[in-house]
């Protein structure tokens, strides 16, 4: 088998269930269809019986026409609201559910965490469950025994390994379940929200496990509502909505689209025409020689009643550049224009590293700054000054304007969001940087 060949191939996969009118309808429908098929039944009655049988049960599509290919060593995220079909898709891939139509091909040893405690006998101890599941994976008692200490160390549940699983907390349950799956050294690891019940230390351990095994060719399928983890771990992400695939591609774009399709008002950006920046009556205009929308490859969403039209990055002397050294001041100038009067708007900004981890972010609400109302056909400029106390590396800047409060400082309705509106590179200030990591917290140390 080729190292880069697809381990998973789905073509037009659908899964539907029949929603019955009543419990007795399950029996009535096939009886009516049988009677309708009898040769001595008049066509008029036959049609009536078939029509009534169809009315007794309506199909509900949990998945509809899903196609995707996943290669060896790739990581695929799957996101969507509850009921969008995520768990159904994973169960089909794991072989615990059969699709109604379409074809599915999975070529590789699978480990799956689809449901908390699935596969465990609550009366058995943790140790007994490890041996039972190991045997189901085809491992001999000797092989399991030789790796049992490794599993117990990974689970970190101490003496509870010898107690019945029914006495475990949800966190202990998932620790043991995850640790047990490592026995099989899977080629495909399927995880459905399992990490959400673990503490931060266990989550970090699992993420290290994913990365180490992916370097050896393991394929990861991850369902999670933790969108930061999805962007950090997954090469591509599938967005599901009402059982259908809305997007399959770059994870940062998938997360942006997920926010877009689930915001308060459905966006109109698909029918969007760029604004032509106008010279403002208050004297603000784009810099001389500026090219509107001077970013490329940014992930954009929003209804665009107002939008960004230009972005400029300057140093302390007012020179345009994107390469800085640790600690240098950075000025970000954002130019905006509205199509109509916009009131009560929020501005947001975040800086992400190359692993899509947010290293810094603010919103105008968090810094208690009121954004002025925007009038149509005028250009507004917003200046953001940063100390630049970032670690060495490359960073992307995401900016957004929106309305309403989602509850975490971010707007519930996106007017315009540009992911990766500009890149910033931070280099060494000399022979040695004054710190390591993502940000300079200006540590002070005292000895007594």
Per-residue pLDDT tens over the stretch 360-406:
998 888 887 878 889 998 899 999 999 988 999 899 999 999 998 77
| Domains, the chain, with CATH or none | 63-259 (3.40.50.300), 290-427 (2.70.50.60)
Summarised one tens digit per residue, pLDDT across range 273-325 is 777 776 655 558 888 888 888 987 667 888 899 999 999 999 999 999 999 99
Classified as helix, coil or strand, 54 is helix
Q: Between β-strands 323-325 and 413-427, what pairing exists: parallel, antiparallel or unpaired?
A: parallel
* Tokens found for residue 151: 């599993």
pTM for the full predicted model: 0.74
Summarised one tens digit per residue, pLDDT across range 129-153 is 999 988 988 889 999 999 999 899 8
Q: Between β-strands 188-192 and 110-113, what pairing exists: parallel, antiparallel or unpaired?
A: parallel
* Tokens found for residue 401: 């304007």
Please give the distance of CA 444 from its chain centroid, rounded to a whole number: 37
| Residues 163, 169, 174: CA angle, nearest 5 degrees | 90
Name the residue with tokens 């920046």.
277
Summarised one tens digit per residue, pLDDT across range 40-93 is 888 888 888 888 888 888 888 999 999 999 999 999 999 998 889 998 999 999
CA distance 406 to 404: 7
4-8, 13-17, 337-341, 347-351: segment of lowest average pLDDT: 4-8
Name the residue with tokens 């029509």.
51
Classified as helix, coil or strand, 307 is strand
> Which residues contact residue 115 at a Cβ distance below 8 angstroms, ignoring those fewer than 6 apart?
192
Instruction: Provide the terminal-to-terminal Cα distance of the chain, rounded to the nearest Å.
Output: 63
* Tokens found for residue 281: 């009556």
Instruction: Please determine, for residue 430, whether its predicted confidence score (pLDDT) is greater than 80.
Output: no
**DSSP alpha helix (H) spans, 57-99:** 86-94
Q: What share of the chain is helix, strand, coil (3-state, %, to 5)?
A: 30, 35, 40
């Amino acid at each position: 088998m080729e190292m880069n060949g697809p381990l998973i191939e789905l073509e037009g996969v659908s899964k539907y269930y029949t929603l019955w009118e009543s419990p007795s309808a399950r029996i009535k429908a096939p009886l009516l269809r049988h009677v309708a098929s009898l040769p001595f039944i008049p066509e008029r009655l036959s049609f009536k019986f078939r029509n009534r049988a169809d009315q007794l049960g309506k199909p509900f599509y949990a998945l509809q026409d899903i196609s995707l290919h996943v290669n060896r060593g790739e990581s695929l995220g799957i996101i969507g609201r509850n009921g969008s079909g995520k768990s159904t898709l994973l169960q089909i891939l794991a072989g615990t559910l059969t699709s109604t139509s379409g074809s599915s091909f999975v070529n590789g040893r699978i480990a799956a965490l689809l449901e908390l405690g699935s596969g465990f006998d609550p009366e058995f101890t943790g140790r007994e469950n490890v041996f039972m599941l190991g045997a189901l994976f085809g491992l001999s008692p000797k092989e399991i025994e030789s790796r049992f200490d490794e599993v117990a160390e990974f689970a970190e549940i101490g003496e509870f390994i010898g107690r019945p699983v029914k006495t475990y907390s949800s966190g202990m349950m998932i620790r043991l379940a995850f640790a047990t799956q490592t026995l099989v050294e899977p080629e495909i690891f399927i995880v459905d929200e399992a990490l959400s019940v673990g503490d931060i230390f266990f989550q970090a351990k699992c993420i290290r496990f994913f990365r180490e095994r992916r370097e050896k060719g393991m394929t990861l399928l991850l369902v999670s509502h933790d969108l930061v983890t999805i962007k950090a771990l997954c090469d591509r992400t599938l967005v599901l909505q009402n059982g259908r695939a809305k997007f399959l591609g770059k994870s940062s774009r998938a997360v942006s689209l997920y926010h877009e399709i689930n915001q308060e008002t459905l966006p109109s950006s698909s029918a969007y025409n760029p604004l032509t920046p106008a010279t403002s009556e208050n004297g603000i205009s784009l810099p001389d020689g500026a090219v509107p929308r001077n970013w490329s490859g940014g992930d954009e969403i929003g209804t665009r009643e107002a939008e960004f039209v230009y972005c400029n990055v300057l140093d302390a002397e007012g020179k345009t550049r994107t390469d800085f050294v640790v600690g240098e001041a950075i000025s970000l100038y954002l130019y905006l224009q509205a199509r109509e009067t916009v009131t009560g708007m929020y501005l947001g900004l975040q800086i992400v590293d190359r692993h899509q981890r947010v290293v810094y972010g603010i919103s105008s609400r968090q810094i208690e700054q009121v954004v002025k109302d925007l009038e149509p056909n005028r250009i507004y400029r917003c200046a953001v000054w940063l100390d630049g106390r970032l670690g060495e590396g490359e960073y992307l800047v995401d900016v957004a304007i929106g309305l309403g409060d989602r509850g975490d400082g971010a707007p519930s309705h996106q007017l315009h969001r540009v992911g990766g509106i500009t890149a910033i590179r931070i280099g060494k200030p000399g022979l040695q940087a004054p710190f390591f990591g993502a940000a300079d917290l200006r540590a002070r140390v005292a000895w007594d």
